[in-house]
Structure 1
Amino acid sequence: MKRPKIALAHEFLAQFGGAEKTLEAIAEIYPEAPIYTAKYTPETMPESIKKRKIIAPKNGLVNRAAKFFFTFMMAPVFESFNFDDYDIIVSDGNTWNKGILTKPNQLHITYIHTPPRFLYHYSTENTKRDKWYFKLFFSYIDNLLRIWDYVAAQRPDFILTNSKETQKRIQKFYRRNAVVIYPPVDVNHSTVIENKSIQKPYYVAVGRLIKYKNFDLLIQAFNMLGLPLMIIGDGAYARTLKGMASENITFMGRISDTEKHRVLSNALGLINPVKDEDFGIVPVEAMAHGIPVLAHDSGGHRETVIEGVNGMFFSELTVESIVNAMKTFDNNARNGAYDKNKIRQSAERFSKERFKEELKQFVEEKWNNFSRA
């Protein structure tokens, strides 16, 4: 049988986060496949991406659209991509890639990280829609976009996703069945990395410092508890958060992956106060170091945190709920209630190698059936 030609599609290559790490793993499976994207900023990408053939618009439309008219100018950009030379298109994204146009003899498999949060009233980092003078305008635009989003979600032949939480959203909003393949996480960290710069035991939180991540509640809770907390990350809400923090809280800003793993490996535990995580990669990264996790009882946390084995939950998004849970969590963490080896083992099912094998098998199986039909 003739070997199929494969192309990859990723929405934006403008920052290197969890979605881009997923793309990186997919690209390792298909080393000869070009990557189509609407925006490419090479200086933000690792060498593994920069060495690939990247196909992106060069007319500046995307950059101009991103400033304001982003939401209703992007669909035509993705629909304009030409995949005529390829048999299989593997795309990943939140909003636009599922809407790319393919022909009947082409197989399109898309990996949806989540349906667009801004369209379905999930919290996002963009607060523009919260301002009263934009609400009426965007309510009209978003109604039109929801129609396009539903239509676009019917185009892929198969849908993959990152968690049972997101799988439920895809069924609810698109009436499509999705197959869960958990995203790739770097879990190859079995030893403590010595950190001489920090002497006393501490907790850690990691993420972009934006409003919906609920770092304000976490900071208020740790102000009351007086426990040491290291916060890794930066964002638009950083100045506000620093202004409310006591001396027991340290802001580390944006640091390298090596330094992040150093901080994680020496922590008593990780705290993740985010509601409705699509999956939640950071808690699994902490578990790979044998570090227990305290997380909000919602979303993807329910698929990674196992109560009593690798962490525990707090139920309400309130300072009081975090404080009460932290008292129990702190006692458990300091008194050896969590087995580091069991915590590490719980992270191994989310490894990068497992992701690559599952995705490769899925694509091969679907192509074999598709090409014989």
Structure 2
Amino acid sequence: MLHERSSDLAIAAKVEMPIEEFPAAPAPDFDRYARIAVVHDWCPNFRGGERVLAQICKQLPNAEVFTLFDFLPAEVKEQYFRDVQFHASPANRIPLVRKFYRSLFFFCPFLIEQFDVTGYDAVISSSAAFSRGVITRPDQPHLCYVHSPVRYAWDEQFSYLEQGKLGFGPKGILYRYMLHRLRTWDTRTAHGPDLMLANSNYVRSRIRHIYGRDAKVVFPPVSLKELPCVEDKDDYYVSASFLAPYKRTDLVIRAFNEMPSRRLVIVGEGQQSASLRALAGPNVTFSGFLPRRDYIDTLARAKAMVFAGCEDFGIALAEAQACGTPLIAFGRGGAVDIARSLGSNSEPTGVLFKAQTIDHLKEAVKRFEENSHLITPRACARNAQRFSEENFDRAMLDSIGAVQALHTIT
């Protein structure tokens, strides 16, 4: 079978140009009932990446999931992955591995290469780290949906090392060497997929910078039908995310500590839960993880969502928009794709600030309050239509068909 590499390796367009529309030409025919191996890094719980995984499996009735670690509760699988077969790596059986699986990152490239997916009609990798490196046949279509290049191995390495207090002692040197090895492996496997899809223009630019490849932007799916637009807002701000250092919830809390008249609700849990609670002033409350219905209600009734991190995309930000909730966000990463920034659009849906500092965030809150009449819930909800599940489904099936066409006998 002939395999002609497409021109997706060429860098043909500027990163700044958003890709939100898809060609009107019909996609190549693709059999949705083909046997597809969907390879996902790991499934610790049901967050943004797992929502993308669920939507992919929803389109492909005969898809099977391969993942390094599978900790999804039975009720989540029943709701989102009914009749989907999961294959986990042998490391998933290590006692108490849920507590330290992230520390096994140095072992994950080896583990991902042990999955035998060569008997499937096609492979889709859902990758923020390792899944793209799965071994495929030369004539096997391989589409990769990139949530992010490996954050802690590339541009965010120094931030992670600092947070882990890993200097240049013996442990720090060992970790730095392991990350060096990971970068070598990551670069070697970068050209395995026939086509890469990026979840945002920011990730697209990182793919170009790190791997020298271009990618097509396909925004993650947002379940708009379960997100009502609420126009009658309560008097509080919300920040919703996994409480990890790179989310910069600490910066949001510090800023609101200096604005004691404004109430902030923090939704989520994570490795920083205890330290962030200790940092918070009396005007900051924590809800922890919320059931889906309560989460949506909290998001929808907030006067604005505040986010100070640099997110690859940020499904929670898009969900807030669908609920009619404006965004106050750091102007880098996926937030730039999601929010229509005040001052740059005729129908703004949020305020973006330039630097991750307390003063810039406080100024953004002030600017939002002074111009809140210009940012309407209806405008936010209309903006979120770009992130519908239907748009995602169409783009994914078009892309799978295009990759399959590369392997057609000529």
Could you tell me how far 1:247 is from its partner in structure 2?
1.8
Q: Distance in 1 between matches of 2:155 and 2:406?
A: 38
In the alignment, is residue 5 of structure 1 matched against residue 35 of structure 2? yes
Amino acid aligned to 1:279: F
Q: Distance in 2 between matches of 1:68 and 1:252?
A: 26
Distance of aligned partners of 1:167 and 1:211 in 2 relative to their CA distance in 1, 3 Å threshold: same
Per the alignment, residue 370 of structure 1 pairs with 407
Q: Are the aligned partners of 2:247 and 2:311 in contact in 1 as well (CA < 8 Å)? A: no
Residue deviations 1:210-251 (CA, integer Å, cap 9, x gap):
222222221121122220111101122222222222222111
Amino acid aligned to 1:264: L
Amino acid aligned to 2:64: P
Per the alignment, residue 265 of structure 2 pairs with 230
Per the alignment, residue 288 of structure 2 pairs with 253
Residue deviations 1:126-164 (CA, integer Å, cap 9, x gap):
877532343211111111111110001111111111011
Distance of aligned partners of 1:59 and 1:21 in 2 relative to their CA distance in 1, 3 Å threshold: closer
Residue deviations 1:172-224 (CA, integer Å, cap 9, x gap):
11111211111111223234399xxxx95111111122222222221121122
Q: Distance in 2 between matches of 1:348 and 1:62?
A: 43
Could you tell me how far 1:43 is from its partner in structure 2?
1.6
Q: Are the aligned partners of 2:200 and 2:313 in contact in 1 as well (CA < 8 Å)? A: yes
Distance of aligned partners of 1:264 and 1:128 in 2 relative to their CA distance in 1, 3 Å threshold: closer
In the alignment, is residue 22 of structure 1 matched against residue 52 of structure 2? yes
The counterpart of 2:63, out of the listed 15, 27, 33, is 33
Per the alignment, residue 219 of structure 1 pairs with 253
Q: Are the aligned partners of 2:152 and 2:160 in contact in 1 as well (CA < 8 Å)? A: no
The counterpart of 2:224, out of the listed 167, 187, 190, is 187
The counterpart of 1:46, out of the listed 77, 90, 107, is 77
Q: Distance in 1 between matches of 2:285 and 2:195?
A: 45
Q: Number of residue pairs matched? A: 366
Q: Are the aligned partners of 2:230 and 2:324 in contact in 1 as well (CA < 8 Å)? A: no
Deviates more, 1:301-310 or 1:49-58: 49-58
Distance of aligned partners of 1:128 and 1:220 in 2 relative to their CA distance in 1, 3 Å threshold: closer
Structure 1 unpaired stretches of 5+: none
Could you tell me how far 1:19 is from its partner in structure 2?
0.4
The counterpart of 1:87, out of the listed 121, 128, 133, is 121
Amino acid aligned to 1:237: Q
Q: Distance in 1 between matches of 2:280 and 2:237?
A: 15
Q: Are the aligned partners of 2:128 and 2:147 in contact in 1 as well (CA < 8 Å)? A: yes
Residue deviations 1:9-48 (CA, integer Å, cap 9, x gap):
1111221110000000000110111111122224263312
Distance of aligned partners of 1:2 and 1:310 in 2 relative to their CA distance in 1, 3 Å threshold: closer
Q: Distance in 1 between matches of 2:397 and 2:199?
A: 15
Q: Are the aligned partners of 1:112 and 1:160 in contact in 2 as well (CA < 8 Å)? A: yes
Deviates more, 1:231-240 or 1:53-62: 53-62
SS at match of 1:13: coil
Could you tell me how far 1:258 is from its partner in structure 2?
0.9
Could you tell me how far 1:267 is from its partner in structure 2?
1.0
Deviates more, 1:361-370 or 1:147-156: 361-370
Q: Distance in 1 between matches of 2:340 and 2:102?
A: 42
Could you tell me how far 1:259 is from its partner in structure 2?
0.6
In the alignment, is residue 240 of structure 1 matched against residue 275 of structure 2? yes
Q: Are the aligned partners of 2:231 and 2:377 in contact in 1 as well (CA < 8 Å)? A: no
Per the alignment, residue 110 of structure 1 pairs with 144
The counterpart of 1:162, out of the listed 199, 215, 220, is 199
Q: Distance in 2 between matches of 1:305 and 1:184?
A: 16
SS at match of 1:261: helix
Per the alignment, residue 140 of structure 1 pairs with 177
SS at match of 2:192: coil
In the alignment, is residue 295 of structure 1 matched against residue 324 of structure 2? no
Per the alignment, residue 340 of structure 2 pairs with 306
Q: Are the aligned partners of 2:313 and 2:335 in contact in 1 as well (CA < 8 Å)? A: yes
Q: Distance in 1 between matches of 2:253 and 2:269?
A: 15
In the alignment, is residue 71 of structure 1 matched against residue 110 of structure 2? no
Could you tell me how far 1:71 is from its partner in structure 2?
2.3
Deviates more, 1:135-144 or 1:42-51: 42-51
The counterpart of 2:190, out of the listed 153, 178, 184, is 153
Per the alignment, residue 360 of structure 2 pairs with 321
Per the alignment, residue 345 of structure 2 pairs with none
Q: Are the aligned partners of 1:129 and 1:135 in contact in 2 as well (CA < 8 Å)? A: no
Per the alignment, residue 272 of structure 1 pairs with 307
Structure 2 unpaired stretches of 5+: 1-28, 343-347
Q: Distance in 2 between matches of 1:220 and 1:157?
A: 45
Residue deviations 1:99-141 (CA, integer Å, cap 9, x gap):
1111122111111110000001327778775323432111111
Q: Are the aligned partners of 2:44 and 2:70 in contact in 1 as well (CA < 8 Å)? A: yes
Deviates more, 1:43-52 or 1:234-243: 43-52
TM-score (norm 2): 0.83
Amino acid aligned to 1:342: A
In the alignment, is residue 338 of structure 1 matched against residue 372 of structure 2? no
Could you tell me how far 1:300 is from its partner in structure 2?
1.4
SS at match of 2:329: strand
Distance of aligned partners of 1:5 and 1:135 in 2 relative to their CA distance in 1, 3 Å threshold: same
TM-score (norm 1): 0.91
Where relative contact order (Cα < 8 A, 6+ residues apart) is larger, the structure is 2
